[in-house]
Amino acid sequence: MPRGGKKGHKGRGKQFSNPEEIDRQMRVQREMEAAGGEKAEGSDSEEESSSEDESENRKRSGVEGLIEIENPNRVSQKSKKVAEVDVEAPKELSRREREEIEKQKSKERYMKLHLEGKTDQAKADLARLAIIKKQREDAAKKREGVKKDKEADEAKGKR
């Protein structure tokens, strides 16, 4: 049974590169390396023009052949050679990545201010802490006073 069920496969057929075209590209590339760049510029322009001719000659389906308008939203994929790719170039961050980085920076900034005691929450925490310390000091003094009273009572009782 063919791919896609009874009706057949609907996808495009595979496109194979022409071996002569591959040989021509290899020769041009070798010439570029041997010439050191001067001949390479001329051969590049020839190569580009031949690829443009091929794209113009391709069969157009539907209304595409009648109307000569290019879709501005359609971005054609241009393959880059390894030599052309710039690894050192700064990478564009996506919106989510930028927002995540901003979020982390603001959190760090807040924590720094919080540790310095400059945020509202830190001020409230410090005030609460001061109240608790005072209560504990008062309780400790009271216990000490009660302890001294007991000791004084015991000393009187023994005499």
Q: Give pLDDT tens digits for 24-71.
A: 999 999 998 887 755 444 444 455 555 555 555 566 666 666 666 677
Determine the Cα–Cα distance for residues 125 and 115; give it in Å rounded to an integer.
11
pLDDT at 147: 94
Find out whether 9 and 2 touch, Cβ atoms under 8 Å: yes
54-63 burial string, b = 16+ CB within 10 Å, else e? eeeeeeeeee
Query: 148 falls in which pLDDT band (50, 70, 90)?
Result: very high
Q: Please state, as a whole number, how many other Cβ atoms lie within 10 Å of the Cβ of residue 43.
A: 16
The mean per-residue pLDDT over the stretch 3-32 comes to: 78
pLDDT at 109: 94
Structure tokens given for 90: 């700064």
pLDDT at 100: 95
Answer whether 0.75 is exceeded by the pTM. Answer: no
Residue 23 pLDDT more than 50? Answer: yes
Residue 95 pLDDT more than 70? Answer: yes
Mean pLDDT, the chain, integer: 79
Q: How far is CA 115 from the centre of its chain?
A: 30
